[in-house]
Amino acid sequence: MCNIAVISVHTSPLARPGTRDSGGLNVYIGELSRELGRRYHRMDIFTRRSDAATPEIVDVDANTRIISVTAGPYDLDKEQVRLYLPEFLRGVIAFQERTAARYDLIHSHYWLSAWVGQALKRRWQTPHVIMFHTLGEAKNRAGAVEPEPAYRIEAEREVARDADRIVCASEGEREVLERLYCVPPERIAVIPCGVDLERFAPLDPAAARSELGLDNGAPIVLFVGRIEPLKGIDMLLQAVARLETRFRLMIVGGDEKDSGRRAGLAALARELEIGERVEFVDAVPHDQLPLYYNAAAVCVIPSHYESFGLVALEAMACGVPVVASDVGGLRDTVRDGQTGYLVPWSCPEPFAERLELLLGNQELRGSLGLLARSAVERFRWSEVAGRVEDIYHELVSRYRGVTVGSHAYEDSAS
């Protein structure tokens, strides 16, 4: 059993995925903690307080707690959070001292947290594992609409140099870490993300549509995710505007705080004369998303960059074919022509072509969907947790000066 300090400064696992900065990272931390908790590891997840109401300690389950640390005003943009990192760090240290908590390892998520994790590593003399979830260099090379600043990339380089292990979810990210951040291969572990195969499973599409109160009219093209420029939603609108087949586009994600971006997208849809066929749906709780995937004919992921892309796995697990950009982690999950399509050009025409093909051919959708479901059977959160746990055991043993395998350590530590 290990005591893990999980650092997630800029977004809380309690936040609803699909809103503002909450997305794949939040789902990842939630699922990983649940699985590690089942294996009797204890997790304290430290996050920046973003409201007055949440108690300092929230027990998620018997082994996982969320600790809210006050650092800066409640409502901050991600870009501003870095200014309050020293205050956050002091808050974590104060909590640890006050409660006499003992941590065997630090696991940081995203570069802002990695900065905190690195300082804690020095203070506590414990191993530090980082998962960046996304890297500034990778986003910039993918032509990010809003380029990542040099200070982020500098900070990533520095913490990467010092980390005991960096977990990344795709081969593409491993390459970026090796080539652009000069991280030696032995300090990188590629562990794909997982999907809950019981929650995300094929359902009768007509039943899913009726449960959502949708008529059985035009086939649904589905987008699920945060409303942000990197997701390429504007390009998706331009793609569907080219379709000759009937369609209805559902854009699921975001909330009232995204009203500005949504209004811009709605204006573009009107300009393209498809305003009536596009529907914006506020972020849907994760456990209700299977209904949306199952109601859809196809799920589109038009991102300019995607470090992994959980949405692709979830749609595929529901037996729904995916049309995705040929970028980042999507290359590791979508098999072009077998479980969906990968589109190598960041422009609307090839997306429209693939969509037209799928919308006009139910049989093709069925066969790709079937293969998609079986292709994702190997992505399980229990598998992810098992591999992360092996890293924890190895590093904790090494720091304790015990050079034994994970099972021997388990015996000696329990």
* Residues making contact with ligand UDP (CB under 6 A): 17-18, 23-25, 27, 224-226, 252-253, 283-284, 286, 289, 308-311, 314
- Residues 197/318, Cβ–Cβ less than 8 Å: no
Q: Whose Cβ is closer to ligand UDP: residue 119's or residue 315's?
A: 315
**Residues sharing a CB contact under 8 Å with residue 25, sequence separation 6 or more, in sequence order:** 8, 11, 109, 110, 133
Residue 8: closest CA among 158, 111, 108, 155: 108
Work out how close the CB of 109 gets to ligand UDP at its nearest, in angstroms, rounded to a whole number. 11
User: Which residue type, as a one-letter code, is found at position 73?
Assistant: P
Q: Whose Cβ is closer to ligand UDP: residue 119's or residue 342's?
A: 342
Crossing angle for the helix pair 362-375 and 310-317, nearest 10 degrees? 110
3-state secondary structure of 84: helix
Distances (CA, A) of 305 to 229, 230, 247, 272: 10, 7, 26, 25
Q: Whose Cβ is closer to ligand UDP: residue 18's or residue 91's?
A: 18
Work out how close the CB of 258 gets to ligand UDP at its nearest, in angstroms, rounded to a whole number. 11
Work out how close the CB of 224 gets to ligand UDP at its nearest, in angstroms, rounded to a whole number. 5
**Residues sharing a CB contact under 8 Å with residue 48, sequence separation 6 or more, in sequence order:** 9, 10, 12, 68, 69, 70, 71, 72, 76, 81, 84, 88
Work out how close the CB of 205 gets to ligand UDP at its nearest, in angstroms, rounded to a whole number. 19
Work out how close the CB of 304 gets to ligand UDP at its nearest, in angstroms, rounded to a whole number. 11
C-alpha to C-alpha distance for 12 and 71, rounded to whole angstroms: 14
C-alpha to C-alpha distance for 160 and 156, rounded to whole angstroms: 6
Work out how close the CB of 231 gets to ligand UDP at its nearest, in angstroms, rounded to a whole number. 7
Q: Whose Cβ is closer to ligand UDP: residue 117's or residue 225's?
A: 225
Q: Whose Cβ is closer to ligand UDP: residue 105's or residue 191's?
A: 191
Strand segments, DSSP code E, in 116-234 are 128-131, 165-168, 188-190, 220-224
Work out how close the CB of 103 gets to ligand UDP at its nearest, in angstroms, rounded to a whole number. 26
- Residues 24/30, Cβ–Cβ less than 8 Å: no
Q: Whose Cβ is closer to ligand UDP: residue 32's or residue 310's?
A: 310
Backbone angles phi, psi at 387, to 5 degrees: -75, -35
Q: Which residue is nearest to ligand UDP (CB)?
A: 23
Q: Whose Cβ is closer to ligand UDP: residue 164's or residue 234's?
A: 234
